[in-house]
Amino acid sequence: MQADENAWTSGAQPLASDDPVSVGAYRLLGRLGEGGMGAVYLGLAPDGRRVAIKVIRPELATGDSFRARFDSEITNARRVASFCTARVLDHGDTDGHPYLVTEYIDGPSLEDRIATDGPLAPEPLRALAIGVATALTAFHSVRLVHRDLKPRNVMLAPDGPRVIDFGIARALDTDERHTRTGAVIGSPGWIAPEQLFDGVVSPAADVFAWGTLIAYAATGRHPYGTGNLPTLATRAQQARYDLDGVPADLQPLVRAALEPDPARRPAADGLLAGLIGTHRTRDDAERAAATAVHAAWTPATPSPTRPESAPARRARRTWPIVGAACAAVLAVSAGTAWGVTALRGDGPGGAARSPAPVAATPAAARFAKVEGVCALIPQSLIDALVPGEHHQPMLKDPVDAATGDGKATGCTWTSSDMAGAPVQRARSLHIKIIIRRDGSDRTGAMKAGADFAQARQEIAATADRTKGATVFGPLVPLAGIGDESYVATKQETSGRARFGNAILRARLANLHIELVYGGTDAPASKPGAASQTTPVPMDVARDDVEQAARAAIASLRACVTCRG
């Protein structure tokens, strides 16, 4: 048959003498590979389609509960139709050998691609990051955890990356098996530290694997170096990673994914939002992701840097928190407040961990001053976000007279009453910028990075939680807004009104920048109860504060007189 003649052009090897000739209703054309879970074959479906068939080793499929668990996991996996996964088509059992049938992806694995051609160039690297984050988001939405995300489980198809083997690791993992053999599902260097040391597996473990995967694809080397499973997991637990060579726009997301504490890692949809922006629905986000991947995907394009020309570097030093406690309370009209905004505060848990490394910034890119802060955001955008606005500049923080370190400037826009309007749209926008400097101008960016990391830890402590009537949204790392940035949301009741707010913090060279936006819709007459008011939806507040931040940072980048 034609299928048999073309089997070897698809990377399959001839069947071995002890290989079956068929599995279930699928005729085998060749062997694609073999791993710890079993052999993978190229097969032919009854309808003529080529498929990949993974036959699980029988010794791994022991225990009375395995079949029910396997059926459940694969059934869930079949519900996912993400463009960046290998679709699960069928599963069954033949002569005591469980098997899984998936869409066949005609392309190399990420592991083979890096070994052959070196690191990915920036555009396909970003497409890879988006594609894998989309796959994780899709599977986590049906309560599946991969547990073994690694370069060999990411296939590079002509139209984009595809994640394979979802559902198998979870189906094979049982308390009985752990007790009997002490085995851990996962591969050295790619599993999260809590998987090895605490036996805890959650979607956060897949997010950690995403971070290691993207760092590896960007540099051609593992971010934690070489060694056995305990050695690599210990380095991961201590945040001893090397991200030299990872593009600057991806570093904030990769660092966030590699957080040793799983509670501080973003969710998969947070990674995706950081890469493509926020969207109203999951379907909208997947469509945007597909467009971005297909526009940038050129997997055969080698990076200018090959592994052999990029010797391993020592992990960067982490920098201690710099500066004394400093908090600014943002009080705005109609009670639209985030609360205490700790830009350099010693808040709860502030000393728990040193901040992540800060990328060096050329001296010419550093800021000596920021003037006219109320004009950083175009008036047309201000009018759209804050109806009937009035604004006032703000300058409060103490400044080191010798160096100018700690100089803060800011602006607050608040909405005015709209006469005759049945509903008052109470909105406020606040921006605050702190300039970090020293006498030599060498460590300002490091100080700003330390401020950013400290503030991020404080926000992370309440992210994705509910405290009484206050609901905190996720902390979402962002890409393309400054050198590093994140956004978080909150919905709360204050007095007789409910408010929805978003806070965004960014670092740009030696500047630490904060924006807060939000508000409520209330009847023209004073509301008698909070239930009569409508808070700004958290996703709307997040989208709007991102718009404001992008505009402000674009103005700062264009400011020639601010440098020095």
List, as residue ranges, the binding site for ATP.
54
The candidate with the shortest Cα–Cα distance to 552, out of 501, 522, 511, is 511
| Cβ neighbours of 92 (radius 10 Å) | 16
Beta-ladder partners of 287 = none
Burial class (CB in 10 A: 0-12, 13-18, 19+), 528: exposed
DSSP conformation letters of 212-279: HHHHHHHHSS-TT-S--HHHHHHHHHTT----TTS-TTTHHHHHHHT-SSGGGSPPHHHHHHHHH---
Amino acid (one-letter) located at 444: G
CB atoms within 10 A of CB 122: 16
C-beta separation of 434 from 336 below 8 A = no
Tell me, yes or no, if 148 is annotated catalytic.
yes
Q: Is 242 left (phi over 0), alpha (psi -120 to 50) or beta?
A: beta
Angle, vertex CA 47, rays to CA 43 and CA 49, nearest 5:
45
Paired tokens of 361: 């910034």
- Binding-site residues sit at 54
**Helix 268-276 / helix 203-219 crossing angle, nearest 10 deg:** 40
Coil, strand or helix at 99: strand
Closest CA to 208 of 175, 184, 241: 241
Catalytic residue among 117, 148, 269, 483: 148
Residue 539 near residue 397 (C-beta atoms within 8 A): no
Say if CB 418 and CB 387 are below 8 A apart: yes
The CB density around residue 16, as the number of other CB atoms within 10 Å, is: 9
Q: How many CA atoms lie within 13 A of 540 on its CB side?
A: 13
Q: What angle do CA 114, 271, 153 make, to 5 degrees?
A: 35
| Strand spans (E) along 479-560 | 484-494, 497-508, 511-523, 534-535
SS (H, E, C) 372-434: CHHHCCCHHHHHHHCCCCEEEEECCCCCCCCCCCCEEEEEEEECCCCCCCCEEEEEEEEEEEE
Catalytic residue numbers, as ranges = 148
